[in-house]
Amino acid sequence: MAPIAVGDPLPDGTLAYFDEQDQLQQVSVHSLAAGKKVILFGVPGAFTPTCSLKHVPGFIEKADELKSKDVDEILCISVNDPFVMKAWAKTFPENKSVKFLADGSAKYTHALGLELDLSEKGLGTRSRRFALLVDDLKVKAANVESGGDFTVSSADDILKAL
């Protein structure tokens, strides 16, 4: 399956997260993105070095600037279970804007065409590192990394597309 690209419609899918009352919730991607400008960025794994030290902190630090450019939602997706995503989110106490969403079985990542087989490293199917700018379910920017790179999917890269 070809990776999602500029001009493509954003596929719908179901992701999981814990709400403010610590209740497990299921949410459709379209319910978060329809009629809105959203950033959906994906990481290979919670608690991994590049994701924890660079990718997520960049979106947290730039959240106000992104929101000032009419971004309604900043969504972080990873092929991890919602319990891991909840624990990982708690390591960013300064975060007020990034929602951490779990794609536990990689079904949504597969629908995006962005799965990455890391079985040889003992990690199974994961997500490629990416950042999508989506306006009312249409992909306006699709910054997808090669391998383990972190060169095109940062918050600064998305800001250039706005």
Domain assignment of residue 105, yes or no: yes
Q: What pLDDT was estimated at residue 51?
A: 81
- pLDDT of 45 > 80? The answer is yes
Using alpha carbons, list the distances in angstroms from residue 143 to 22, 52, 55, 111.
Answer: 32, 19, 13, 16
Q: Which domain holds residue 107?
A: 8-161
Write the burial class of residue 75 (CB in 10 Å: 0-12 exposed, 13-18 middle, 19+ buried): buried
Average pLDDT over residues 33-60: 93
**Which ranges of 7-99 does DSSP label H, i.e. alpha helix?**
29-33, 49-50, 56-61, 63-68, 82-89
Is there a domain that residue 129 lies in? yes
How far is residue 9's CA from residue 128's CA, in Å, rounded to a whole number? 19
Interatomic CA distance for residues 36 and 43, integer angstroms:
22
Considering its fold, how many domains does the chain have in total?
1
- Write down the pTM of the prediction: 0.94
Please check whether residue 121 lies inside any domain of the structure: yes
pLDDT of residue 53: 85
HSE of 26, CA atoms in CB hemisphere, 13 A: 5
pLDDT over 90 at 48, yes or no: no
Q: What is the mean pLDDT of residues 66-75?
A: 98
Quote the pLDDT of residue 21: 94
List the CATH number of the domain containing 127: 3.40.30.10
- Average pLDDT over every residue of 10-15: 98
Catalytic residue positions? 51
Instruction: Tell me whether residue 2 is in a domain.
Output: no
